[in-house]
Amino acid sequence: MAEGQSGAKTPADFLKSIKGKAVIVKLNSGVDYRGVLACLDGYMNIAMEQTEEYVNGQLKNKYGDCFIRGNNVLYISTVRQA
């Protein structure tokens, strides 16, 4: 379907470009996870490292490694580097 997109950055390209980088993962529930993206798969299942869980902008939890089930993911965002 995406054959018309020459020079476009498809979701697959984006995912390749953010591996090993700091990301924010927002879930449908509104909870944010900030950490380093280890890897992900076609279901948007995500493995993250040094993960911090934010609820309403407040840090609630820290996980060394964590697995997020893809169906809960609203978006994956790059982190603006200061």
For binding to other proteins (CB under 8 A), which residues are involved? 1-2, 4-5, 8-15, 24, 27-30, 33, 38-41, 44-47, 51, 63-69, 71-80
Terminal Cα-to-Cα distance of the chain (whole angstroms):
37
By C-beta, is 9 or 59 nearer to other proteins?
9
CB of 54 to other proteins, least distance (A): 12
CB of 2 to other proteins, least distance (A): 6
CB of 7 to other proteins, least distance (A): 9
Work out the number of other CB atoms within 10 angstroms of the CB of residue 31: 17
